[in-house]
C-alpha cells in the first residue's frame, strides 16, 4: 500500500465509528450422505468468501451507513462439500466526518482495503463463534478459521 493510500485509509477509518453489528440471517447445513464426523479426513478444507451487496454502503441518514457483508463457509472432505454456513450481517457505522468519508470513499483502492481487510478484521472473531455454533448444532467437529493477514 503506497503512502497516500495508507493516509487515505487511516482518514477513512477515523471518519467512521462502528455502532452495531447484527446478524440478519444465519443458515447452515450438512450434505447427506456425509460420512459420520469421526470418518472425516484429517485434512478437511475450509473455504470461505465475503461478498457485499451492490448498493453498499446503504445510507440510513446523513450520519449513518450500513454495510451488509455476506459470508459463505464451506467444509470440504476431499472434493465433497460436507458442511456449509451462510451468514449475512448488518454493520451500522456513524459518520463522524462526512467530508473525509466522501473524499476517501471515492478512491477505489482505499475503498477496497476497507471492504476486503478492515471489515474482515472487525468480523473475524464474531464469525469464528457463529461458525462454531453452527457446526455444533449439526454435531459437526469444530474446524478453526484460518489466520487473517
Kindly report the average pLDDT of the chain as a whole number. Answer: 91
Rounded distance, CA 34 to CA 52, Å?
31
Q: Looking at residues 110-125, what average pLDDT do you find? A: 95
Confirm whether 45 is domain-assigned: yes
Q: What phi and psi values does residue 21 have, to the nearest 5 degrees?
A: -125, 120
5: preceding bond cis by omega (within 30 degrees) = no
Examine residue 142 and state whether it is found in any structural domain, yes or no.
no
pTM: 0.89
CB 24 within 8 A of CB 90: yes
Domain harbouring 123, CATH code: 3.10.420.10
Domain count of the fold of the chain: 1
- Tens of pLDDT, residue by residue over 36-81, are 666 666 778 899 999 999 889 999 998 999 999 999 999 998 888 8
Domain housing 105: 10-137
44 in any annotated domain: yes
Residue 64 maps to a domain = yes
Assigned domain for 128 exists? yes
Distance from C-alpha of 118 to C-alpha of 138, rounded to nearest angstrom: 31
pLDDT of residue 79: 83
Identify the pLDDT of residue 145.
86
Evaluate whether residue 55 is within a structural domain.
yes
Residue 84: beta bridge partners? Answer: 29, 74
Residue 145 in domain: no
CB 68 within 8 A of CB 90: yes
pLDDT, mean of residues 96-100: 95
pLDDT range class, residue 149, cuts 50, 70, 90:
confident
Contact present, 60 and 94 (Cβ < 8 Å): no
Residue 4 lies in a domain: no
Amino acid at each position: 500500500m503506497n503512502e497516500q493510500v495508507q493516509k487515505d485509509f487511516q482518514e477513512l477509518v477515523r471518519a467512521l465509528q462502528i455502532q452495531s453489528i447484527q446478524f440478519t440471517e444465519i443458515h447452515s447445513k450438512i450434505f447427506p450422505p456425509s460420512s459420520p464426523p469421526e470418518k472425516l479426513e484429517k485434512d478437511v478444507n475450509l473455504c470461505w468468501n465475503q461478498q457485499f451487496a451492490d448498493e453498499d454502503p446503504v445510507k440510513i441518514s446523513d450520519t449513518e451507513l450500513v454495510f451488509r457483508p455476506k459470508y459463505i463457509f464451506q467444509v470440504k472432505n476431499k472434493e465433497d462439500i460436507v458442511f456449509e454456513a451462510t451468514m449475512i450481517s448488518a454493520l451500522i457505522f456513524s459518520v463522524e466526518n462526512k467530508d473525509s468519508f466522501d473524499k476517501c470513499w471515492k478512491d477505489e483502492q482505499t475503498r477496497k482495503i476497507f471492504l476486503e481487510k478492515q471489515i474482515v478484521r472487525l468480523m473475524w472473531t464474531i464469525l469464528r463463534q457463529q461458525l462454531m455454533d453452527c457446526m455444533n448444532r449439526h454435531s459437526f467437529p469444530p474446524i478453526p478459521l484460518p489466520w487473517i493477514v
